[in-house]
Amino acid sequence: MRDKYEVVIGLEIHAQLKTESKIFCSCSTRFGDEPNSNTCPVCLGLPGALPVLNRAVVEMSAHAALALNLTINQESIFSRKNYFYPDLPKGYQISQYDRPFSERGWVEIPTSERNESGHAIEWKMKRFRIHRLHIEEDAGKSLHEGMRESASKSYVDLNRSGVPLAEIVSEPDFRSSWEAYDYVQYLRRALQYTDVCDGNMEEGNLRCDANVSIMPRGAEKFGTKVELKNLNSFRFLQRALEYEIDRQIAAVESGERIIQETRLWNERDSKTYSMRSKEEAHDYRYFPEPDLPPLVVSETMIEHVRQSMPELPEARRRRLIEQYSLSPDDAAQLTDTRTMADFYEATARASANPKSAANWILNELVRELKNTGTDISASPVGAESLGAMIRKIDDQTISGKMAKDALIEMYKSGKSVDEVVSEMGGGQVSDEGAIREMARQVIASNPRQLEQYRSGKSTLLGFFVGQMMKASGGRANPQVVNRVIKEMLEGEGQQN
């Protein structure tokens, strides 16, 4: 059924800019404080109070805009979006309408459909256009439960009122839920790389609304769009889109007409519910905000921001593949956050073995970080330390097996690889004479196994290797052990 239809999705992302103070006053943007403690006449919308634009918001918006290849307008205008709601203290939200901060951007990123178990089927590069990014203030929060008299009252917390947001509106360029998913993931990463947004959907500092429609494959005119809200995680976003696509197809197939409306995703029921139809839609009566002059951004300032832009995640991913011969998957994982990518590249340098660095980080270190709930930026084993450890493997001072144990110990204690290895009784033993001597003893004390081996049970090689490792306290060089014991088991047999 899906094949008959083409899906059209557009996304509106609200990204909370991580400034210290609010967009139009000096109140703190800190999350989780006592309700209404971070407020003043301006963000409470008291009569007579006036907004003053926080320049840090402009700087961060410029970073975000450039990261998304948007053109920053030299002059943009703030407008009032008028509507009544208890958590909107002025009765209007200061936003941008006619002339937004920036327009006409794009990202070109890998995207893929997923199979039933959620694995990517085939990554392809695709360009998604971005219509605009504009600046606005957040509203407060209505609290309907959890307060003393919640049964009979609703409460309002205005700590969030006036927190700066960048609203990023895409073109309707997504043809599946996974494309939308990959785009939002990328957007989050780009905003984190440029250090302008924490990108946490669950905490609400990245919020997403979607416009969804379907049309018969090959049609030129888009179908009637439905707006989806309450998509509070990446998973919800993808699932809600899937549900909504199915719902629309089922409706059309049964001869119904799609009505333009806003629907809310309900995670518990895994369904979308109608919130309001177009007929009830707001007329926001936008008009230019007379309390704020036009926002003028100079070419010098844009240039300054351009200079301070970090390498963006997609560019970095491609470079990592190129420069370190990484697999696309590894490169994607290693560029998930800027700190991860920084950590990787520092380890690659320190170890002089980029491939191995990628493996150690992704297979071993990430597991330890996950188990202890630690961010890589706070990893007890630093990039230099991990690099030194990898060097020790490469110069055969320690074996890979030893290194695994050593890393766990280094992670626990914060000690260097040298300290840990010496505590383990020293580096690996590669001296052939010593290993031969050890082998002689192992063979001598296991005559029955020797007998069986020699009568053809060659799987017993593993047993002898194990005995060797045990006898050496894990320090014997496994390659040398393998070679020597095999040689002795077979060679001495021939002699006898």
Q: Residues in the site for another protein, rule: CB under 8 A? A: 41, 44-53, 80, 82, 84, 86, 89-92, 156, 283, 285-287, 290-293
Pick the closer one to another protein by CB: 90 or 225: 90
Pick the closer one to another protein by CB: 16 or 54: 54
CB of 56 to another protein, least distance (A): 16
CA–CA dist 142, 120 (Å, integer): 39
CA–CA dist 241, 252 (Å, integer): 16
CB of 57 to another protein, least distance (A): 14
Which is nearest to 89 in space by CA: 155, 26, 43?
Answer: 43
Pick the closer one to another protein by CB: 293 or 414: 293
The residues near 321 (Cβ < 8 Å, ≥ 6 apart) are 327, 328, 331
CB of 286 to another protein, least distance (A): 8
Pick the closer one to another protein by CB: 154 or 270: 154
CB of 19 to another protein, least distance (A): 17
CB of 23 to another protein, least distance (A): 12
Beta bridge partners of 11: 210
CA–CA dist 330, 283 (Å, integer): 48
Which is nearest to 336 in space by CA: 178, 192, 177, 204?
Answer: 192
Pick the closer one to another protein by CB: 76 or 176: 76
Judge contact between 309 and 67, C-beta under 8 A: yes
CB of 256 to another protein, least distance (A): 28
Largest Cα span, the chain:
105
Dihedral of the CA atoms 418, 419, 423, 425 (nearest 10)? 20
CB of 49 to another protein, least distance (A): 7
Pick the closer one to another protein by CB: 52 or 250: 52
Helix 313-324 to helix 177-193 angle (10° resolution) is: 90
Pick the closer one to another protein by CB: 3 or 149: 149
The residues near 428 (Cβ < 8 Å, ≥ 6 apart) are 396, 397, 398, 399, 402, 475, 476, 477
Which pair of structure tokens corresponds to residue 435?
């290993």
Say how far residue 433 (Cα) sits from the centre of its chain. Answer: 52
